[in-house]
Amino acid sequence: MTLGALVAGLLITAPAGASREAGQLTVFAGSSLRAVFPRIDVKPRYNFAGTNQLAFQLRRGAPVDVFASASPAYTQALFRSRLVERPRTLTYNRLVLAVPRSNPADLHSVYDLRRKDAKLVIGTAQVPIGSYTRKVLARLGLLSMLDKVVSAEPDVKSIVGKLSLGQGDAGFIYTTDVRASAGRLAAIPIPARGKPKVRYEIAVVTSSKHKNAARGWVRAVTRSPRARALFREAGFLPR
């Protein structure tokens, strides 16, 4: 069953009045979901950016129907503020140390950062990728590597851009972003003890004017076999 058919089926069984709410949905999503959401469904109006930026915009009253976060910290905080309905798990991801395909700093392990004169690009502490990065460095005893940071970026796509343009030697990003880089980047695994749990959550926004359609869309992207297959194909981990 296609995603569109599943959404349609869910909406048919929705309470009376659901069809009158139907319209183009606005979906705010962490930038690492850019590689998969439009492949699942091209119809919504997407805004991909750093999760913290999107949560701030939502709190300021931006017209949003669905919010997908690269960290549960943001969806749970919005839920406590009653700005979103109860979040549900969307998918999982992994962190890796990414390097340009040419690997100019000759890095082959996370620990090579200690002895190599490498230019490191990371996310800001406020964005999920930056928070996860600092957890990795702390767990591996590598927090001093923050001294090698030449640029702190607002989202993971900006880190990918810097590395792809040769403006950094290495950066912590998601494995899905390495896969989406079309061969421009290579991944160096993170030791098991350093890996953070990267869990994405999704929720309907309380102020949505298309609430029934939004609920149907969220159920579809979390339940549809096609959606799950596309998440796996993009490198995300199963729920």
| CATH code for the domain in which residue 83 is found | 3.40.190.10
Could you give the residue ranges of the DSSP H alpha helices within 65-187? 72-80, 128-139, 156-164, 175-179
Q: Residue 73: what pLDDT?
A: 96
> Phi and psi at residue 2, in whole multiples of 5°?
-75, 165
Residues 113 and 87 in one domain: no
Q: What is the pLDDT of residue 116?
A: 82
Please indicate, yes or no, if residue 81 is contained in any of the structural domains: yes
Decide if 238 is inside a domain: no
- Give the whole-number percent of the chain exceeding pLDDT 90: 88
106 with 189, same domain?
Answer: yes
Tell me, yes or no, whether 135 and 54 share the same domain. Answer: no
CB 69 within 8 A of CB 218: no
179 lies in the same domain as 104? yes
Question: What ranges make up the beta strands (E) of the chain?
Answer: 26-30, 45-49, 66-69, 88-93, 95-100, 120-123, 149-153, 170-174, 185-188, 198-204
**pLDDT at position 1:** 44
**Same domain membership, residue 205 and residue 180:** no
Q: Is residue 68 part of a domain?
A: yes
Verify that 22 and 83 share a domain, yes or no.
yes
154: Cα separation from own chain's centroid: 13
Going residue by residue through the chain (239 aa), what tens digit of pLDDT does each one get?
444 444 444 433 333 333 334 579 999 999 999 999 999 999 999 999 999 999 999 999 999 999 999 999 999 999 999 999 999 999 999 999 999 999 999 999 999 999 888 999 999 999 999 999 999 999 999 999 999 999 999 999 999 999 999 999 999 999 999 999 999 999 999 999 999 999 999 999 999 999 999 999 999 999 999 999 999 999 999 87
Do 180 and 99 share a structural domain? yes
Residue 239 covered by a domain: no
Same domain, 208 and 190: no
Same domain, 77 and 100: no
* Domain assignment of residue 143, yes or no: yes
Residue with tokens 């109860």: 86
Q: Are residues 46 and 83 in the same domain?
A: yes
Domain match, 112 and 183 both: yes
> For 194-214, what is each residue's pLDDT tens digit?
999 999 999 999 999 999 999
Q: Which domain holds residue 227?
A: 3-92+198-233
- What dihedral do alpha carbons 193, 157, 79, 213 form, nearest 10°? -130
Q: What is the pTM of this model?
A: 0.85
Q: Look at residue 15 in the predicted model and tell me its pLDDT.
A: 31
